[in-house]
């Protein structure tokens, strides 16, 4: 997932809008394009043969502004279609369009090959002029890390394996890492992480990374439920099929941390991941249990399948004790978010209007769209049961994404800038630059917003 080294032998890829005039091309090329039905519609690819039959270039349909607004990484279609060799973009792309095209091209090269070989596209792009090639390659590598982690089945990506990946990331960038393991979670006051993970033979743990010695404090918290059976409130098989991706929040914050460290941002970064497997055994936590959290708030368990907010609560409480300048939480938390927004548009929650505006604008700019949902105050009563401070699964089935977000906010009382992302982490149908499977969501939006939000 790297750019071509030089443009010496690169073939031209002409970017042409819908209904483009081809009169400047040689007559044989015009006739060939017409015979192939090339009109410039978005995503069309037309190879132009030379006199010897070998390609002398290609045309790519850029469509109209309206059609482009409904698609991301359109140029990735060319990466997946063109023959082997270096290619250079020719056409009036804006700087943002060129950057998206470059990133999409690299993302199209991703393949998950741990269990089965798969050939990646062999067409390579010469990085467009004005685009920071090193930065784009970092973004692509970080996305590949996130996808690899999510795509790996739970048989090979339990809490221990997630820890190994976490430590490898720390080692790569010279970060400090600490792991609190098993019953030591009780000793160090992380009772809800322990309660959720104790039924699995794969011990629960809290992963803690620190990097950077200057700048504002940035803390990332990611849900690392490596597999979720639902616990004693067992999921049906139809709901359990994708639960290897329930550590998608952890995978995404690890990808984001990779970006931050590789780009050398001037921040004091901390990454916290509660890594557990929610399993069924005689010592599993039960419906109607009341757990006492690290923060001291008591939680009545009304559904053991609402476990992600429990492990996040202890991690958020720890992070909040340091009062970071910005705290971001990322989790594959609720089905309600997917019902409301679909798989492609993750919602986020924050009380900070400036942060919300920065994330929304940066998401659009980074081709990583996000959408703000409210911490709706009238629903606070829904998360307050009769015998404890909080209810982990309010009855009624409505506003599930909001009540989950409100639950998490109760554990963040010192940090002024806090945002929670309820991501899906999965591409259900292949799209340009995004094959079916695990996918990062929100990380590039956050990265692009950091200079404004933290004054970098």
Q: Which of 68, 235, 268, 372 is catalytic?
A: 235
**Closest Cα partner for 368 from 124, 178, 189, 143?**
143
Per the CB < 8 A criterion, the answer to whether 393 and 333 are in contact is no
Q: Which helix (H) or strand (E) holds 125?
A: strand 123-125
Contact 418, 221 (CB under 8 A): no
DSSP string, 215-274: S-EEEEEE-EEEEE--TTSPPPHHHHTTGGGGGHHHHHHHHHHHHHHHTT-SSEEEEEEE
**Residue carrying structure tokens 């919300």:** 356
Residue 341 neighbours by CB distance under 10 Å: 17
* Selected catalytic residue, list 309, 338, 417, 434: 309
The CA distance from 207 to 193, in Å, is 11
- Helix boundaries (H) for 343-399: 353-365
CA angle 111, 160, 217 (to 5 degrees): 85
Angle (nearest 5°) at CA 250 between 249 and 253: 85
Give me the count of residues in the chain: 456
Which tokens belong to 330? 């990322």
Please say if 309 is a catalytic residue.
yes
**DSSP β-ladder status, 176-181 and 205-211:** antiparallel
Contact 282, 261 (CB under 8 A): no
**Residue 57 β-bridge partners:** 48
123-125 and 85-90: which strand pairing?
A: parallel
**3-class secondary-structure state, position 48:** strand
Question: Bridge partners of 438?
Answer: 426
State yes or no: is 295 an active-site residue.
no
Closest CA to 259 of 448, 85, 407: 448
| Catalytic sites, residue numbers | 235, 309
């Amino acid at each position: 997932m790297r750019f071509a080294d030089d443009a010496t032998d690169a073939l031209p890829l002409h970017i042409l809008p819908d209904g483009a005039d081809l009169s400047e091309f040689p007559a044989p090329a015009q006739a060939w394009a017409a015979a192939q039905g090339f009109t410039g519609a978005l995503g069309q690819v037309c190879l132009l043969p030379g006199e010897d039959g070998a390609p002398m270039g290609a045309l790519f349909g850029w469509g109209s502004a309206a059609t482009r607004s409904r698609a991301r990484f359109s140029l990735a279609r060319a990466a997946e279609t063109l023959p082997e060799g270096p290619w250079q973009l020719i056409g009036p792309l804006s700087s943002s369009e060129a950057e998206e095209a470059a990133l999409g091209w690299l993302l199209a090269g991703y393949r998950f090959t741990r269990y089965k070989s798969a050939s990646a596209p062999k067409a390579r792009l010469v990085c467009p002029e004005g685009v920071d090639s090193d930065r784009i390659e970092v973004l692509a590598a970080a996305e590949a890390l996130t996808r690899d982690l999510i795509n790996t089945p739970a048989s090979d990506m339990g809490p221990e394996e997630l820890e190994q990946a976490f430590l490898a990331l720390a080692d790569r960038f010279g970060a400090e890492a600490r792991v609190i393991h098993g019953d030591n979670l009780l000793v160090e006051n992380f009772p809800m992480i322990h309660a959720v993970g104790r039924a699995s033979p794969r011990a629960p743990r809290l992963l803690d990374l620190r990097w950077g010695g200057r700048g504002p404090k940035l803390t990332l918290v990611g849900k690392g439920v490596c597999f979720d059976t639902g616990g004693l409130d067992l999921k049906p098989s139809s709901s359990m099929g994708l639960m290897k991706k329930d550590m998608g929040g952890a995978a995404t914050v690890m990808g984001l941390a990779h970006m931050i460290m590789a780009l050398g941002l001037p921040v004091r970064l901390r990454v916290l991941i509660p890594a557990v497997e929610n399993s069924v055994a005689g010592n599993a936590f039960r419906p109607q249990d009341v757990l006492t959290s690290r923060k001291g708030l008591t939680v009545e368990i009304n559904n053991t399948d609402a476990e992600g907010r429990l492990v996040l609560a202890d991690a958020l409480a720890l992070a909040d004790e340091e009062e970071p300048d910005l705290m971001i939480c990322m989790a594959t938390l609720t089905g309600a978010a997917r019902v409301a927004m679909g798989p492609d548009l993750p919602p986020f929650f924050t009380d900070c209007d400036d942060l919300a505006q920065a994330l929304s604008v940066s998401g659009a700019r980074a081709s990583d769209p996000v959408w703000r949902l409210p911490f709706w105050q009238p629903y606070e009563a829904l998360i307050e049961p009769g015998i404890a401070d909080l209810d982990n699964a309010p009855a009624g089935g409505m506003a599930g994404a909001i009540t989950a977000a409100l639950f998490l906010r109760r554990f963040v009382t010192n940090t002024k800038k806090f945002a929670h992302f309820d991501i899906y982490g999965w591409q259900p149908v292949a799209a340009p630059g995004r094959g079916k499977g695990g996918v990062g969501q929100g990380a590039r939006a956050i990265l692009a917003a950091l200079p404004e939000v933290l004054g970098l």
